[in-house]
Structure 1
């Protein structure tokens, strides 16, 4: 299943709305009444539902909560998309290395209109183990 432009826009918007951080697992917990005005915490209520505990003066606590709640699904979709794209790039890319002439044209793949050969750019997107396959 492809990640649609609309789905990607939703993920991008959630990420853009969050506080800049720091985001860390070992960050101290801030409860209402604590002194840090920039950090919100998420707790779980008795029904295992996420509850926002905004820090005093937190500007975007609800956006942080929405980001955290959607993270598992968003990351799963993004990982699937990356894996599919890598597989496709590997299948469509000539594994031979580029050989550029003095004009910057790739002699291996016959491409010279771009500053870099499309095959070379595609090869750079693949992890090293996929490039050697």
Structure 2
């Protein structure tokens, strides 16, 4: 089960992504630096990875692809959140329409007070913004 990504976590990931150097990032192998200086200084890439096996290759490829993958994943989160908000609003509006249709079948003097209360409650829910993390949690448990 995973915990829904909060708005704060989403914003923090987006900030780190925006602050990172532009891509593409790459992986380079088989570089041996030798110096006869007592304290060699390397001017070059931001970092390096010592190769100790196939797992290192997979890790390096994952890191190198993060520059392109993270913006795509953030855009997908944004798209899905917007889609969920639209679906939620559509469902509530449909329920309001159904209750309003039922209420309009009877004259005002015969309307059930509970029906009018339900319509008002649905309108209040429709107009109240729901945080993304709470909306995702309402969908139920998620498995990875």
How does the TM-score come out when normalised to structure 2? Answer: 0.32
Q: Which protein has the bigger strand share?
A: 1
Q: Which protein has the bigger helix share?
A: 2
Bigger Cα Rg: 2
How does the TM-score come out when normalised to structure 1? Answer: 0.34
Say which structure, 1 or 2, has more relative contact order (CA 8 Å, 6+ apart): 2
